[in-house]
């Protein structure tokens, strides 16, 4: 499948290097220049200082042995799915794939048309064949080099508006831009992270011997796939790019990205890639933790991060080249590490280049490799990372052991050994474990057995397989479950064979490894191995979780159709006096759940289909829709007494549905977006919405307006009929920098009368970094006039220019302001934290309202986290009266300063992540606070309500680190908490009463697509301080906005066990699904491993 529309078995432009050894550097590519991460020996400057074992292992990914065999083949295509590329980058200018189905035959300088596309006869069809074509001017393309010809010139010369090759992409001469929706994958935004894709392309496949750099596969062709102006994008674009890359026969595709919103279409695109032989490689993430980066965490993706030397200097006295860069993630999903001078991005590029080399070697051997075979070759040929305790202490490296471990996976990439296996014909079978899902959570009281489904496919018959299991983080003691023969593996694990553990809160002194061990106590890891008739073996692992929670509501957890980044809300949709649970998911579905998990009549409802998506088998069953990342809003927008649900889409859709699921007249509407001319090197715009809609009656007519802040940097207000209200939309831009510095807004507008004049005001932030990138911007707008309040917008100081850490979601002002009247004067104070700031709440005139301290020396002695200071990052603030004095406390998750420092380190640095709660009167940290939370709380916040039944509210907050906590005003965890999802809890939980029993329920969704609902002992007939992400179902972000008081329980004593617990002897009929799973599994036998 990897033979492109070129002459098969083409001669490559760069030869192999059969005499390239450490002793003969002159026989190696001239660009090598002892780049330590490519070598199979240790650079001379470190040979005296490095630990002795590494003298043989080398400092890098051992490319020399591979290049002695092959330099790759232009017939092997590598997809670079990223932020776009620069067409004129010297060492990749001639590497861009040309789709001859959209190009005429080249001409020579005299205008004579060649007989083949390989005009110069070098065996490769690339830019050089058109370099003298008189039809192509060097300045034809606006996004290239005006001095020399580049592929951009070909695109603009030969694009004729006709899909000549009939693949669904008009004039796709060289890849596609899924961000700007055209055939030019140029990175419009070329500062900082905008050039991310260039680096990935060069590391993977830069040509050699040209005086620049050299990629791992210097002869492989490159297919640019632009999915954003940064390496953070949405899952629908990633799905399109993967499907296109598969269609174009890419051997591998880089996924050095993070995507928001996982749809069924994205999951199917990933499956399709594996089936068709395109092995995807994903970045583990860059945040020095164990949370799951998407789409890398999806099944059968190679999950990688980088390793480096233990010094900050490439030329220093290195002791070890096996240290994990702290700008990498780790954990049970790890497959491989790769030596690189960058974070996980670099490891992705190195690994994709290695896959190109493997497929090139296969072509030399008159064969091709399946995705499963390539994966097995990579992990089996890797260099094991195994330092002794003494060596680890000297290197200050994370722990390692023989074989697989959570910090290094199966080891460091060894391209030479992998390529040699292909030439020797040592091809292992492919192996896929298809069920359970990665990190799926099973409640031991709901299931009897856990089905296990796997499939082995090899070139020879499968003589044996075995399934083993073990417990906890980095297990070493394996228990055999079953063994057999043949390609299909169907078995089950009894719940009775799994010891149950109690989920614990952290000790104040907990380090990173102790955190992993604690959180993974409830985990089970499968290890499936297989062997074919020639003795070639395959191995695959998968981790899931088993525990028992007596508080989980019957019918939950429930699998959503897509991911659950959007925070849920409780609202009485149908007006019958009982609340429904309203949930949006990454598949574009809006759900309204009733007590047993069934949907309200008319639901789910769906967003519009994504426009101009080319046909693909990936989307035949599950077409791509407008992704829902924002929390929904609910209220009676038309004033007729019935409730409506409003949602905003990432593609710009503004949706509204009645209580019966019918579409509200006038909807959907769409954001305006920006023209191509407005997308410049200085601006970062997009089309739709990440922030939630806010419902508020601006004009007092008893209908609710819809307020939304767009990725196009506009503030919108719509009427209940879908029309623009008043003078909206308005531009959001800092007045002195409107012409030079524009950015998105991912905020949800907060509304309230902040200045006490009787009219509603809108408070919102943007991603702008102004005043030499020292400050971000908070806007306060008089809602009626659409004009800025006097003295606004405000420039708020923080390290907001460090967007390279978390572009899109961590730029400028990612947190939505939270409003409250904390001084009782009738107007509202504003908590408005910016990225990497220490910002105190302010009055409406911009003066300080509450003197918070962020430094540990000011904290009480009795705290739950060992942190020197708290730094606001990209988490949502909230307000709630925790100490019963009638004044709400300020609550926000944060990060520690030590954590931020750790990201740049190449040595083990322990840190903890804090959640702070400050007294609303004094600004002092409450006794028992800050608390320690397991991982980052990106874009999420806290709900505040009584879940313990003592009449006092708890702060209910989850993180990317699997757990959801509930702490009271003194920092004590409520009985039965924390809860475990084993997923990334990006969504803020919601509090309400789903079943009408008079006790509160807590609902949370996860990025992996699961909906959890837990029963609590908190009475529903008391004040809920902060019910959901933005306080209430209208998303006002305003503590003073009333939350309807719910009915309490029937008069009855509250037992020690609490209310409404389900009979723990009741078992789910989940096991009955096993035969259906087996049938589905057998239907997938066509899948090529």
Question: Both 492 and 523 in a single domain?
Answer: yes
The predicted pLDDT at position 1014 comes to 98
pLDDT in tens, 368-398: 999 999 999 999 999 999 999 999 999 999 9
pTM: 0.95
Lowest mean pLDDT among 630-639, 775-784, 794-803: 794-803
pLDDT in tens, 97-140: 999 999 999 999 999 999 999 999 999 999 999 999 999 999 99
* Ramachandran assignment for 639, one of left (phi > 0), alpha (psi -120 to 50 degrees), beta (any other): left
Question: Both 376 and 335 in a single domain?
Answer: yes
Query: Residue 13 — pLDDT band, cuts 50, 70, 90?
Result: confident
Question: Both 50 and 114 in a single domain?
Answer: no
- The bridge status of strand 479-484 relative to strand 462-471 is antiparallel
- DSSP secondary structure of 51-96: -THHHHH-SS---HHHHHH----TTSEEEEEES-B-TT-GGGTTTB
Q: What angle do CA 838, 840, 843 make, to 5 degrees?
A: 150
Query: Residue 10 — pLDDT band, cuts 50, 70, 90?
Result: very low
Question: Both 425 and 457 in a single domain?
Answer: no
The predicted pLDDT at position 803 comes to 55
Structure-model confidence comparison of residues 333 and 4, the more confident one: 333
Lowest mean pLDDT among 526-535, 737-746, 1037-1046, 1050-1059: 1050-1059
Final residue before a domain boundary, out of 483, 513, 547: 547
Question: Both 120 and 61 in a single domain?
Answer: no
Instruction: Give me the mean pLDDT over the 1039-1048 stretch.
Output: 97
% of the chain exceeding 70 in pLDDT: 94
* Nearest of 74, 84, 316, 82 to residue 188 by alpha carbon: 84
Q: What angle do CA 35, 36, 40 make, to 5 degrees?
A: 110
Contact between 960 and 806 (Cβ < 8 Å): no
Query: Residue 316 — pLDDT band, cuts 50, 70, 90?
Result: confident
* Nearest of 821, 757, 820 to residue 787 by alpha carbon: 757
Q: Mean pLDDT of all residues in the chain?
A: 93
The predicted pLDDT at position 683 comes to 82
Contact between 837 and 877 (Cβ < 8 Å): no
Going from the C-alpha of 963 to that of each of 933, 935, 948, 977, 989, the distances in angstroms are 8, 9, 17, 9, 12
The predicted pLDDT at position 810 comes to 87
- For residue 534, the SS3 value is coil
Residue 825 confidence (pLDDT) above 90? yes
Instruction: Give me the mean pLDDT over the 727-733 stretch.
Output: 98
Helix (H) or strand (E) holding 764: strand 761-765
Does residue 365 sit within a domain? yes
Does residue 772 sit within a domain? no
pLDDT in tens, 166-209: 999 999 999 999 999 999 999 987 665 668 899 999 999 999 88
Q: In sequence order, what are the residues at sequence separation of 6 or more whose Cβ sits closer than 8 angstroms to the Cβ of residue 360?
A: 70, 72, 73, 75, 76, 217, 219, 220
Question: Both 162 and 124 in a single domain?
Answer: yes
Q: Which two tokens stand for residue 77?
A: 């295509």
Helix (H) or strand (E) holding 669: strand 669-670
Does residue 704 sit within a domain? no
Instruction: Give me the mean pLDDT over the 163-168 stretch.
Output: 96
Residue 269 confidence (pLDDT) above 50? yes
The predicted pLDDT at position 188 comes to 82
Domain count, the chain: 3
Residue 495 confidence (pLDDT) above 60? yes
Does residue 88 sit within a domain? yes
The predicted pLDDT at position 681 comes to 75
The predicted pLDDT at position 740 comes to 85
Distance CA 1083, CA 774 (A): 57
* Nearest of 217, 181, 407, 200 to residue 306 by alpha carbon: 407
- For residue 848, the SS3 value is strand
Query: Residue 440 — pLDDT band, cuts 50, 70, 90?
Result: very high
Does residue 673 sit within a domain? no
Residue 829 confidence (pLDDT) above 60? yes
Residue 807 confidence (pLDDT) above 90? no
Question: Both 369 and 322 in a single domain?
Answer: yes
- The bridge status of strand 430-435 relative to strand 449-457 is antiparallel
340 lies in which domain range?
25-97+175-430
Helix (H) or strand (E) holding 895: strand 895-896
Instruction: Give me the mean pLDDT over the 696-701 stretch.
Output: 98
Distance CA 981, CA 977 (A): 12
The predicted pLDDT at position 193 comes to 66
* Nearest of 1021, 987, 995, 991 to residue 570 by alpha carbon: 991
Contact between 538 and 460 (Cβ < 8 Å): no
Query: Residue 24 — pLDDT band, cuts 50, 70, 90?
Result: very high
Contact between 650 and 624 (Cβ < 8 Å): no
Long-range contacts of 739-742 (CB under 8 A, 24+ apart): 740/682, 741/682, 741/683, 741/768, 741/769, 741/770, 742/682, 742/683, 742/684, 742/685, 742/713, 742/768
Does residue 407 sit within a domain? yes
Question: Both 143 and 50 in a single domain?
Answer: no
Contact between 613 and 619 (Cβ < 8 Å): yes
pLDDT in tens, 250-259: 999 999 999 9
The b-or-e profile of 751-779 (16+ CB within 10 A means b, else e) is: bbbbbeeeebbbbbbbbbbbbebebbbbb
Residue 1072 confidence (pLDDT) above 50? no
Peptide bond before residue 85 is cis, with ω within 30 degrees of 0? no
pLDDT in tens, 25-44: 999 999 998 899 999 999 99
Question: Both 239 and 331 in a single domain?
Answer: yes
Final residue before a domain boundary, out of 367, 395, 430: 430
Instruction: Give me the mean pLDDT over the 426-443 stretch.
Output: 98
Distance CA 373, CA 628 (A): 36
Does residue 1052 sit within a domain? no
Question: Both 116 and 251 in a single domain?
Answer: no
The predicted pLDDT at position 1052 comes to 62
Q: CA 1041: distance to chain centroid?
A: 33
Q: Which two tokens stand for residue 148?
A: 């020399």
CATH of the domain at 538: 2.60.40
Question: Both 57 and 188 in a single domain?
Answer: yes
CATH of the domain at 34: 3.40.50.200
Instruction: Give me the mean pLDDT over the 913-927 stretch.
Output: 98
Distance CA 176, CA 676 (A): 15
Peptide bond before residue 604 is cis, with ω within 30 degrees of 0? yes
Question: Both 229 and 354 in a single domain?
Answer: yes
Going from the C-alpha of 548 to that of each of 8, 441, 545, 621, 981, the distances in angstroms are 58, 10, 10, 35, 12
**What values do phi and psi take at 212, rounded to 5?**
-105, -125
The predicted pLDDT at position 679 comes to 81
Query: Residue 445 — pLDDT band, cuts 50, 70, 90?
Result: very high
The predicted pLDDT at position 192 comes to 58
The predicted pLDDT at position 804 comes to 56
pLDDT in tens, 325-342: 899 999 999 999 999 999
Q: Which two tokens stand for residue 968?
A: 């009271």
Distance CA 477, CA 470 (A): 6
Does residue 1006 sit within a domain? no
Final residue before a domain boundary, out of 494, 517, 547: 547
The predicted pLDDT at position 314 comes to 82
The predicted pLDDT at position 213 comes to 87
Residue 7 confidence (pLDDT) above 60? no
Instruction: Give me the mean pLDDT over the 548-566 stretch.
Output: 96
Query: Residue 494 — pLDDT band, cuts 50, 70, 90?
Result: very high
Distance CA 992, CA 578 (A): 10
Instruction: Give me the mean pLDDT over the 481-497 stretch.
Output: 98
Instruction: Give me the mean pLDDT over the 558-570 stretch.
Output: 98
The predicted pLDDT at position 1 comes to 37
Residue 241 confidence (pLDDT) above 80? yes
| Residue 394, beta-bridge partner list | none
Contact between 79 and 250 (Cβ < 8 Å): yes
% of the chain exceeding 90 in pLDDT: 88
């Amino acid at each position: 499948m990897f033979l492109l529309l070129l002459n098969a078995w083409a001669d490559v432009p760069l030869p192999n290097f059969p005499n390239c050894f450490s002793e003969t550097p002159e026989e190696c590519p001239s660009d090598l220049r002892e780049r330590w991460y490519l070598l199979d020996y240790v650079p001379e400057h470190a040979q005296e200082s490095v630990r002795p074992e590494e003298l043989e292992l080398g400092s890098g990914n051992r490319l020399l042995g591979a290049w002695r065999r092959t330099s790759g083949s232009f017939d092997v295509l590598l997809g670079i799915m990223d932020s776009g590329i620069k067409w004129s980058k010297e060492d990749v200018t001639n590497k861009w794939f040309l789709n001859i189905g959209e190009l005429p035959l080249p001409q020579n300088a005299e205008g004579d048309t060649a007989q083949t596309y390989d005009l110069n006869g070098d065996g490769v069809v690339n830019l050089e064949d058109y370099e003298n074509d008189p039809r192509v001017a060097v300045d034809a393309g606006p996004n290239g080099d005006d001095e020399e010809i580049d592929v951009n010139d070909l695109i603009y010369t030969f694009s004729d508006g006709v899909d000549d090759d009939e693949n669904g992409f008009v004039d796709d001469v060289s890849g596609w831009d899924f961000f700007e929706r055209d055939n030019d994958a140029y990175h419009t935004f070329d500062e900082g992270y905008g050039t991310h894709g260039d680096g990935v392309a060069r590391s993977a496949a830069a040509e050699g011997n040209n005086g620049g750099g050299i990629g791992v596969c210097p002869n492989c062709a490159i297919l640019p796939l632009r999915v954003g102006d940064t390496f953070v994008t949405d899952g629908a674009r990633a799905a399109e790019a993967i499907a296109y890359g598969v269609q174009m026969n890419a051997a591998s595709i880089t996924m050095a990205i993070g995507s928001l919103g996982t749809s069924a279409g994205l999951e199917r695109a990933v499956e399709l890639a594996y089936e068709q032989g395109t092995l995807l490689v994903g970045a583990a993430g860059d945040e020095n933790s164990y949370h799951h980066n998407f789409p890398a965490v999806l099944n059968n993706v190679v999950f990688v991060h980088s390793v480096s030397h233990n010094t900050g200097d490439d030329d220093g006295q290195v002791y070890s080249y096996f240290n994990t860069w702290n700008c990498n993630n780790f954990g049970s999903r790890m497959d491989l590490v790769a030596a690189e001078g960058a974070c996980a991005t670099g490891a992705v590029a190195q690994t994709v280049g290695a896959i190109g080399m493997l497929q090139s070697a296969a072509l030399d051997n008159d064969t091709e490799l399946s995705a499963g075979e390539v994966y097995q070759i990579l992990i089996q040929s890797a260099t094991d990372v195994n330092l002794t305790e003494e060596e680890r202490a000297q290197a200050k490296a994370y722990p390692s052991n023989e074989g697989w471990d959570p910090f290094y996976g199966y080891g460091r990439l060894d391209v030479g050994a992998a390529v040699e296996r292909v030439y020797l014909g040592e091809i292992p079978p492919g192996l896929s474990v298809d069920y359970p899902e990665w990190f799926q959570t099973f409640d031991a009281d709901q299931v009897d057995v856990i089905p296990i489904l796997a499939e082995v496919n090899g070139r020879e018959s499968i003589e044996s397989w075995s399934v083993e299991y073990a417990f906890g983080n980095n297990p070493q003691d394996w228990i055999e479950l079953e063994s057999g023969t043949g390609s299909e593996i169907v078995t089950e694990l009894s719940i009775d064979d799994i010891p149950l553990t109690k989920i614990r809160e952290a000790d104040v002194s907990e380090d990173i490894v102790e955190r992993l061990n604690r959180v993974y106590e409830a985990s089970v890891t499968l290890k499936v191995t297989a062997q074919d008739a020639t003795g070639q073996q395959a191995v695959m692992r998968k981790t899931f979780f088993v525990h028992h929670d007596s508080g989980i509501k019957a019918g939950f957890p429930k699998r959503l159709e897509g991911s659950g980044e959007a925070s849920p809300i409780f609202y009485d949709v149908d007006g019958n006096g009982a609340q429904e649970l309203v949930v949006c998911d990454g598949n574009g579905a809006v759900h309204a759940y009733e007590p047993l998990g069934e949907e309200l009549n008319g639901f789910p409802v769906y967003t519009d289909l994504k426009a101009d998506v080319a046909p693909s088998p990936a989307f035949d069953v599950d077409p791509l829709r407008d992704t829902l990342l924002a929390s929904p809003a609910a209220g009676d927008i038309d004033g007729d007494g019935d409730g409506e649900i409003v949602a905003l889409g990432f593609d710009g859709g503004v949706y509204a549905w009645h209580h019966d699921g019918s579409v509200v007249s006038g909807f959907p509407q769409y954001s305006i977006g920006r023209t191509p001319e407005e997308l410049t090197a200085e601006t970062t715009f997009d089309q739709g919405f990440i922030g939630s809609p806010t419902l508020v009656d601006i004009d007092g007519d008893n209908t609710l307006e819809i307020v939304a802040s767009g990725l196009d940097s506009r503030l919108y207000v719509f009427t209940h009929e879908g029309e623009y209200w008043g003078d909206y939309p308005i531009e959001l831009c800092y007045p002195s920098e409107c012409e030079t510095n524009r950015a998105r807004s991912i905020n949800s507008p907060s509304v309230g009368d902040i200045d006490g004049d009787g009219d509603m005001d809108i408070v919102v932030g943007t991603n702008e970094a102004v005043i030499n990138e020292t400050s971000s911007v908070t806007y306060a707008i008089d809602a009626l006039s659409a004009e800025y309040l006097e003295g606004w917008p405000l420039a708020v100081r923080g390290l907001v220019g460090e967007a390279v850490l978390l572009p899109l979601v961590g730029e400028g002002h990612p947190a939505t302001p939270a409003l409250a009247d904390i001084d009782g004067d009738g107007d509202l104070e504003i908590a408005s934290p910016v990225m990497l700031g220490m910002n105190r709440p302010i009055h409406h005139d911009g003066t300080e309202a509450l003197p918070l301290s962020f430094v540990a020396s000011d904290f009480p002695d009795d705290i739950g986290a060992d942190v020197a200071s708290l730094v606001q990052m990209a988490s949502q603030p909230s307000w709630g009266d925790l100490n019963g004095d009638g004044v709400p406390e300020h609550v926000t998750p944060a990060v520690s300063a030590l954590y931020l420092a750790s990201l740049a380190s190449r040595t083990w640095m322990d840190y903890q992540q804090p959640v702070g709660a400050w007294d609303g009167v004094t600004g002092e940290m409450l006794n028992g606070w800050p608390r320690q939370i397991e991982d980052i709380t990106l874009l999420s916040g806290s709900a505040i309500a009584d879940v313990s039944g003592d009449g006092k509210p708890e702060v209910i907050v989850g993180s990317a680190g699997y757990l959801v906590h509930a702490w009271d005003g003194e920092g004590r965890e409520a009985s039965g908490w924390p809860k475990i999802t084993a997923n990334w809890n990006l969504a803020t939980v919601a509090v309400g009463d789903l079943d009408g029993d008079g006790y509160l329920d807590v609902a949370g969704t996860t990025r992996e697509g699961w909906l959890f609902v837990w029963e609590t002992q908190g009475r529903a007939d008391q004040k809920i301080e902060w019910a959901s992400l933005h306080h209430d179902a209208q998303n006002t972000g305003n503590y003073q906005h009333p939350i309807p008081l719910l009915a309490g329980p029937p008069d009855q004593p509250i037992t020690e066990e609490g209310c409404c617990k389900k009979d723990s002897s009741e078992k789910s009929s989940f096991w009955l699904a096993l035969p259906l799973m087996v049938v589905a599994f057998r239907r997938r036998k066509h899948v090529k491993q």
